[in-house]
Amino acid sequence: MKMTILRKLEFGLLTLVVACLVVPVAASAGDEPDAVADAISAGWPGMAKDATVVDWEGNVLKEGTNGYTCLPTPPMLSGTAPMCMDSEWMKWAGAWQNKEDYAAESLGISYMLSGDEGASNIDPYAEGPTEDNEWIVEGPHLMILAPAEMLEGFPTDPENGGPYVMWKGTPYAHLMVPIGARD
């Protein structure tokens, strides 16, 4: 009899502890599945399935194993702009997010296979189109980081029909490589 009461007490206590742990997580996880789906939509399936997913505050939403990190659309942007980045791009993202200087130490590859809803071709922090910020809405594309001297031979005109340098003259300059049609 003592054992049965003790087991019921243990079960009740365990249930209470689990409820206290699960309920806050479920309540705070509201948009997490949407954020993960948005983030991995940026990569090709074989890469995206094993990528780590983090939000823009650095919270890990999904553990990964392949060295790529996918992020959902940045919260300050409207529309869609998820990306999957290698380690060099993660350094770039930290610098961009914190408005710090950055210089590429090696080649870096980022996928934005869902395209984006637009960005200024000249201002890394523009949040919408203006008459003079060269706003471009890009379809599926890759972004390549390289030391600045390697980007010198590429045009900055997004309408040239091929790769172009975005944000030239800033610490965040990179090569945009369209791989699909723009909408």
Q: For residues 95-124, give the mean pLDDT.
A: 94
- Give pTM, 2 decimals: 0.78
CB 131 within 8 A of CB 155: no
- CA–CA dist 14, 54 (Å, integer): 31
Q: For residues 100-118, give the mean pLDDT.
A: 94
CA angle 26, 28, 31 (to 5 degrees): 95
- CA–CA dist 64, 23 (Å, integer): 26
CB 175 within 8 A of CB 135: no
Who contacts 67 (Cβ-Cβ below 8 Å, separation ≥6)? 86, 87
The 10s digit of each residue's pLDDT in 41-64 is: 999 999 999 999 999 888 999 999
Who contacts 13 (Cβ-Cβ below 8 Å, separation ≥6)? none
CA angle 120, 173, 156 (to 5 degrees): 65
